Structure 1
Amino acid sequence: MVRDSASSEDSPSLQEILDALDDADCRAILRETTEPMTANELIDVCDIPKSTLYRKLDLLSRASLVREQDTINPRGGRITRYERHFDDVLISMDEADTFTVTVERPPRKADERLADIWSKMGDEL
């Protein structure tokens, strides 16, 4: 299963970002997730097998480029949707010739922060 998405304070490594962005399937997922989508929706629009999709979502999650949003299904259970979780990725080189990565994130709304808190509480029960 996909690892919990990182908070905006987490800093993925340069290599995690490069690995995710170097993958054609990951790039296809990122193009489609401007709005939250379920795994089944992503399988259909990206034409990726289910097992591959979850591996790619894990890669994107480790790089903090997508985040999971769980909602309650009125018919029971939870629905997980995946959404792109960055506005911009900047890779630069400093004066010491060291590469750095900066991931700019969209501002979080109060309801999103509250939903994350509730989701984490539910996981601990």
Structure 2
Amino acid sequence: MVRDPAGESSTVEEVLAALYDDDCRAIVRNLEEPMTASEISDACNVPLSTTYRKLETMVEATLLEELTEIRSDGHHTTRYRLDFEQVTVSVDDDRRLAVAVSRPARTPDERLAEMWSEVSREA
């Protein structure tokens, strides 16, 4: 199992399945800065409906982070960014596959936003 800083977890299978998928790897290659699903769809030349499924797969595998941007008109936009720097696959002492995910450092503002999101989810 892989644990992320927010306490969510994903399985080895989820991480490896996401990284094995051609469209998910295209998303990784093209996601240099936070992007919307439409921007990702265009950059990767993948249909928007497929892009949404791939984004969900990667979020569940804790490889992407969803960022909600509130616009001045009251609507919101979801942007996605990579939530890993490195993925290492190894064999543990029980001869099972293990995955270690190296996460990028968080700024104080990002840590505060994550804590607020957690509080909001629990309320």
Q: How far did 1:65 drift? A: 0.3
Q: How far did 1:116 drift? A: 3.0
Question: Hey, what does 1:69 align to over in structure 2?
Answer: 67
Question: Hey, what does 1:58 align to over in structure 2?
Answer: 56
Q: Distance in 1 between matches of 2:16 and 2:111?
A: 28
Structure 1 unaligned runs (5+)? 1-5
Question: Hey, what does 2:114 align to over in structure 1?
Answer: 116
Aligned length: 120
Cα separation, partners in 2 of 1:79 and 1:99, compared to 1, 3 Å: same
**More off after superposition, 52-61 vs 94-103:** 94-103
1:79 pairs with one of 64, 77, 80? 77
Contact between 1:69 and 1:80, CA under 8 Å: does it hold in 2? yes
TM normalised by structure 1 equals: 0.84
Taking only the aligned residue pairs, the percentage that are identical comes to 43
User: Could you say what the CA RMSD is over the residues aligned between the two structures, in angstroms?
Assistant: 2.1
Q: How far did 1:58 drift? A: 0.8
Q: Secondary structure at the match of 2:93?
A: coil
1:13 aligned to 2:11?
A: yes
Contact between 1:20 and 1:63, CA under 8 Å: does it hold in 2? yes
Cα separation, partners in 2 of 1:49 and 1:124, compared to 1, 3 Å: farther
Q: How far did 1:112 drift? A: 1.1
Q: Distance in 2 between matches of 1:13 and 1:106?
A: 20
Q: How far did 1:43 drift? A: 1.2
Q: Distance in 2 between matches of 1:69 and 1:40?
A: 15
TM normalised by structure 2 equals: 0.85
**More off after superposition, 89-98 vs 54-63:** 89-98
